[in-house]
Structure 1
Amino acid sequence: MEWTEDAIATLRQLWAEGLSTAEIGRRMGISKNAVVGKAHRLNLAARPSPIRRTPGVAPAPRPPRRAARPAMPRPSPMMAGAVVAARPPAERPAAPVVAMRPSPPLRLGNSACCWPIGDPGTPGFRFCGAQALLGKPYCAEHASVAYVRVKDRREDAA
């Protein structure tokens, strides 16, 4: 909207009458937000909040904060050059190997495992083709490899 002198005068008059921003917008044919923005730019007197708060009702108290973890002690000068052995990565049990007949890419059905086997650039490239789990694209064996919890990934990376 282009704010002409007449529109600004109308806004000031309706604002002084105490009409709501929504009502001013309806009367002027503009949005409530346009009224609020122009009133702010004209530095018109602020209005009290239309949200009615019941007197005597205090907001719920916040729960107490947890105590901060103690800081790690600094290494002593004697320990500064010491070499600390890293933890070995957690051993994950190997997934059971199931005898399967690989399927070429065009013969996969809706319930077949889509786990790729081999190099896609070679003629021997296939997909697992075993019975897929309900709602998953992989069989039980390959789903156990594909879907690893975030916690397990972090342990392996450490």
Structure 2
Amino acid sequence: MSWTDERVELLKKLWGEGQSASQIAKELGGVTRNAVIGKVHRLGLSNRSSGGAKADAKPKAEAKPKAPPKPKAPPKPKAAEQQPKPDLKTEPAVAPKTGNSLRKAIIPAGQPLPPQPSANEISPEALAKVNEVEKTAKKLGLMELTERTCKWPVGDPATPDFWFCGLPVQAGKPYCEAHVGVAFQPMSARRDRKR
């Protein structure tokens, strides 16, 4: 089927009257709805103007009903409404202190440091071993860590002199032998500490 001048004029007239592409295809005969839509767009008639000239837009009247819109998910409650924020001053992260370096979980900048355990909670032998190991540590950055390197943090993460131990790990643990001795204490030592 070819678009003759008469068929194009009839298309413009019917489109301007607000008929759907399906109705126009039936009226013209020998064309599909998609062919009508394509011709309408090539002619620049997509705004439903009357008489072929672009004028005021008329409401669309489609013969084929459109699919209903997808239901929107109910809005999720804000995080603040779900649960109260913990007070970092009353619930600090606790980490062991070894030697002169501070061990702690990452705490947002400007927050107070958590209370540190006293030196008598960790055996003097373990502390001495950690101090010696940290002198020979590889001092790796976060992106340099692998599954075979000790991930014990040393220093304040908010400062440029923060690093990870980096020595070979003990089998099945994330830390080297010295840091395992500090991080994983026997149950009896932990019970004695609470008394």
Shorter-chain TM band: 0.3 to 0.5
Higher helix share: 2
TM-score, structure 2 as length reference:
0.33
Q: Which of the pair has more CA radius of gyration? A: 2
TM-score, structure 1 as length reference:
0.41
